[in-house]
Amino acid sequence: MNSNSVTVRLPDWMMTAAQDLAADRQMTLEQFAVTAVLHKIAAETTAEDFLRRRFGDRAFTAVLGE
pLDDT of residue 65: 66
pLDDT above 80 for 11: yes
pLDDT of residue 60: 67
**Average pLDDT over the chain, rounded to whole?**
85
| DSSP assignments along 3-15, one per residue | TT-------HHHH
Give per-residue pLDDT as tens, 27-52: 999 999 999 999 999 998 888 888 88
- Percentage of the chain beyond pLDDT 90 is 41
pLDDT of residue 28: 94
Residues 6+ apart with CB under 8 A from 23: none
> Positive or negative, the Cα torsion across 15, 16, 17, 19?
positive
Contact in structure between 28 and 22 (CB atoms under 8 Å) = yes
